Structure 1
Amino acid sequence: MWELWAPLTSGARVVVLGADEVRDPAAVHRILREENVTVLNQTPAAFKGLRAHLEDTGAGFADLPLRTVIFGGDAFDVRDYRDWFTTPGHRPALVNMYGITETTVHVTIRTITEQDIDAGVRSPIGRPLAGQHGYVLDSFGRLVPPGSTGELYVSGGGVARGYLNRPGLTAARFPADPFGPPGTRMYRTGDLVRRDARGELHYLGRTDHQLKLRGHRIEAGEVEQTLARHPAVLDAVVSVREDEPGLPRLVAHLLAAPGCEPPTPADLRASAARTLPGHMVPSAYVVLDRFPLTENGKTDRAALPAPEPGTEETPGRVALRTPTEEALAAIWEETLHTAVGAEDDYFALGGDSLRALLIASRANDAFGVALTPRDVLVTRTVAGLADLVEEQVLSELEDALRGDSDHDEER
């Protein structure tokens, strides 16, 4: 909605990327340059891939007409841009926007400055847009003072009327607005924020177990129940972790059922994938003896350990056989932080769609080919991806030889 109507009502032109292009940093780079794009709308994670591509190729932003990058769809972390304002060369302005579907869509806006970096700010979301209001309330619905943490409630013209045929959920999420005219409602976002002394809002996380990952909303309870139905699993806790800055992933912590061998990640993933959509299937699994607990006996999610890099050799691992496989395996190992064999399954190694984007971009830069993230997700092994690389290289070589032969005939 916003990406279309904001530029069109301002007299600007809209460039729409295809589904494969939006996940391919090289394609995004090419289109930005060819279409003279001045404003780019991306998630922070997707822009991270574009930055990595520009750094790997040495292109930078100097050859792009890009003036502004607008972030949305996921949490933005200022810490990822510590060198943004100090590195020589052209850099587009960074703008962070916060919004939810129920407010169609953006609620707040914030331009990122060098002072944010110096002040150690993490995730500023700014002030409400015109016609929107943001209230920071405690559990009793009272306004909290500046600097205190509370839940963000949104009111104004963009707020939806509720959920179709879901009166119970509508009543819970769209309470009456005590600060507005009679009959108006506000939306309870479930997001924790604080308002600083200048009136700027800062995003801190979620109040419930509803998770957000690259624009998707994930009900943690549904994933946990699915994993717990596995005969070798006693209990499960899932969370979105960002152990590597800018690369969030869904992680499952599990307790093995008494008398059962701990299930393997491949087995758990295959079991979950039978009933859950792809974005709800965890990419990493950690089996524990017990869950850490808070002082009042609840699972301490903040104390759950990070998945350990799988640097040990897997029994029966197929050795790398060609220089192409060795080069690709090095890219996989750099991205996935684990040892990789020729036939190891990408998802079992902890891969996901975002890391597939990085792998495809780095492979394209290394081999001069045109792989897409979908190629990584479909082939799922270094060996399969190596076949695609060699096919593309061979095809380009044949085209070049054919062109030379035609030229000789003409002479």
Structure 2
Amino acid sequence: VTFANTRLSYSELDGRANRLAHQLIELGVGPEVRVGVAMPRSEQLLIALLAVLKAGGAYVPLDPDYPAERVAYMLDDSRARVLLTEQSVVQTLTVPAGTEVLILDQLDLSGYPLSEPVTQVTPDNLAYVIYTSGSTGKPKGVAIAHRNVLALIDWSKSVYSRDDIQGVLASTSVCFDLSVWELFVTLANGGSLIIARNALELPHLPARDQVRLINTVPSAIAALQRNGEIPHSVRIINLAGEPLKQSLVDALYPQGIEHVYDLYGPSEDTTYSTWTRRTQGGTANIGRPLKHTASYLLDANLQPVPQGVSAELYLSGAGITRGYLGRAAMTAEKYVPNPFSTTGERLYRTGDLCRYRADGVLEYQGRIDHQVKIRGFRIELGEIEARLLQQPEVNEVAVLAQEGPGGQQLVAYVVTSADADTLRDPLKARLKEHLPDYMIPAHWLFLDQLPLTPNGKLDRKALPGIEAGRSQSAYEAPVSELQQQVATIWAQVLTVERVGLDDHFFELGGHSLLAVTAVSRMALELGLSLTPQLLFQHPVLQDFVAQIDSTDGPINEEKLNKLDALLDEMEEV
């Protein structure tokens, strides 16, 4: 395991995790006991996760950058007995009274043995609980057992050789299940890890030339590819979390990449369910089920549909998880009896529309509900709508994902009797108290009423597009030469017609990937020495330019750790 300039052997990693596991057992951790983990990305985070598993418990990953209320809810909902964290994080958290806190960077574990503890854990016990967005306004915890992860490890062993997994970039937030493949598949099969805070950090890693395999989302690899930042050592790229465009596949192979794998799957089926090796000049598809997994395309009566007909994808097999922690009714709704099984097996309803091609592979056709994925993050639009409807000024609301220049972007349509001009910023601020940054709409449109269909339902097709939202804001033209130059670059990166002095980079559709692209362009074309941090600190054009000295670069480049936190918006990245 490598993180920055720190390297750990398997033996060192094992010993440190064992020592912490012994202390966890003393605190009552064992089978079915949940342990919250809220730590920055480093080798210490991996040690903490392994220690929970070695103690027989189940880890609950918590992003330190999530709103304190959301973290507190997840700790309470999971009934975590212990919280593992660090001094820099614990001050920002609200911890339930019944949860014991261990601050790992202030802990002396030298008195505990390096040997592996003996536990009573079985393959059916919980391994971890990952929270995903919930349509009711609260996140829900998916409960994954050890046997589910073992199936993923076994399939991976049949596809990736030990050489393939020497130098796996571990860059995905542990709150997202792509991280399970990066960390545990790699270690279980004898590979080596290079831990990064996010995928976009790759070109700056001391060990970047040792990276052989990248496991991330398409939008992240597209940014690295566009900027020429994929190291020559990379041979395999796993892409998941978003539809993978053929144009990106075609751009990757000429760079010396040997295999581009397209992996599809929900957390409820343990990370990956189907896979395919995408080829240059091929067509988009999500392939066939992993071994130990079966796929079904069924109609409303759970009857199979003919080849070529779109229908909801159902999954079965060894990856199907226990269900949603503490939510029996929701579990029964999404995990249904398998009519094709005589052993009591269940099917998971994905909510994804697919069809079988003539050659038997699956094509992804979109969602059947209002769940979306943006840069790998799974978002229930209803959770955002529920939070907005709690605000006294909001009468009606609809939140949609619309295609923009940087990919899909969230758009909020708000009906209010209050002054719309003064409401946008307070609503965003209140949302940020409860929701992570990737769930905050980039665009806000205020309407007199929401359009309805003849039968009284929301007419989503009649809602105005993103451009209408931009036209609601007054435009003030850039004045100085530097303002005009930066505005031109922003407009090109964001693919908008123009950028004014009061325009906000992220409200025009920007996100962390486009921020990196914009900074690279300004460095190349204007000779400015910048970091993306400056753009996050000063996202309004006028303020941003005011911080720039065209000779000496940005005045304020402090708090670079904040950039890592903001770039963790990539998830899965």
User: Per the shorter chain, which TM-score range?
Assistant: 0.7 to 0.9
1:52 and 2:231 correspond = no
Bigger shift: 144-153 or 228-237?
Answer: 228-237
Equivalent of 1:328, from 486, 489, 496? 486
Residue number in structure 1 paired with 2:323: 162
- 2:256 counterpart of 1:96: no
TM-score relative to the length of structure 1: 0.77
Q: Distance in 1 between matches of 2:327 and 2:249?
A: 44
Question: What is the deviation of 1:377?
Answer: 2.2
Where does the alignment leave 5 or more consecutive residues of structure 1 unmatched? 397-411
Native 8 Å contact 2:209 2:232 kept in 1: no
Match for residue 3 of structure 1?
182
Aligned with residue 245 of structure 2, among 64, 70, 77:
77
- Give, in whole Å, the separation in 2 of the partners of 1:314 and 1:221: 27
CA offsets 1:79-134 (integer angstroms, 9 cap, x no match): x338538x9664553221001112221111112224534xxx4xx11111111111
Alpha-carbon distance in structure 2 between the residues aligned to 1:290 and 1:272:
22
Counterpart of 1:249 in structure 2 is 409
1:381 and 2:557 aligned = no
Q: CA deviation at 1:395?
A: 9.1
Q: How far apart, in 2, do the equivalents of 1:310 and 1:251 lie?
A: 9
The percentage of aligned residue pairs carrying the same residue is 32
Equivalent runs, 1:235-314 vs 2, <5 Å: 235-244=396-405, 247-257=407-417, 262-263=420-421, 265-266=424-425, 268-288=427-447, 291-294=450-453, 296-308=455-467
Q: Which residue of 1 aligns with 2:74?
A: none
SS in 2 for 1:218: strand
1:359 aligns with 2:518: yes
CA spacing shift, 1:230–1:358, aligned 2, 3 Å = farther
Partner of 2:295: 134
1:224 aligns with 2:385: yes
Q: Counterparts of 1:158 and 1:239 in 2: how far apart (Å)?
A: 31
Tell me the matched-pair count.
Answer: 373
Secondary structure, counterpart of 2:514 in structure 1: helix
Q: Is 1:193 paired with 2:354?
A: yes
Three-state SS of the structure 1 residue aligned to 2:303 is coil
Deviation string 1:59-81 (CA, Å, 9 cap, x unpaired) is 7x6x7132222101222233x33
8 Å Cα contact 2:384/2:439 also seen in 1: yes
Q: 2-side partners of 1:74 and 1:270: how far apart?
A: 28
Give me the CA root mean square deviation.
Answer: 3.4
Cα distance between partner residues in 2 of 1:101 and 1:28: 26
Letter matched to residue 16 of structure 1: I
**Counterpart Cα distance in 2 of 1:376 and 1:305:** 29
> Hey, what's the Cα distance between the residues in 2 that align with 1:75 and 1:10?
28
CA shift for structure 1 position 288: 4.4
Deviations 1:24-79 (A, max 9, x none): 3xx4235498423222212111112112212xxxx7x6x7132222101222233x
Query: Partners in 1 of 2:452 and 2:502 — Cα distance?
Result: 39
Paired with 1:197 and 1:32, the residues of 2 have a C-alpha distance of 47
- Give, in angstroms, the shift of residue 278 of structure 1: 2.0
Q: 1:344 to 1:305 in 2, by over 3 A?
A: closer
State the AA in 2 paired with 1:135. Y
Query: Residues 91 and 298 of structure 1: is their aligned pair in 2 closer, same or farther, counting only changes over 3 Å?
Result: same
- Alignment partner of 1:64 out of 224, 228, 232: 232
SS at match of 2:360: coil
With over 3 angstroms needed to count, the CA separation of the structure-2 counterparts of 1:311 and 1:74, relative to structure 1, is: closer
Q: SS of 2:315's equivalent?
A: strand
Contact kept, 8 Å, 2:412 with 2:444, in 1: the verdict is: yes
Query: Pairwise mapping of residues 32-47 of structure 1 onto structure 2 (< 5 A)?
Result: 34-47=208-221
One-letter code of the match for 1:42? Answer: T
Shift of 1:284: 1.0
Amino acid at match of 1:163: Y
- Give the counterpart of 1:105 among 243, 248, 271: 271
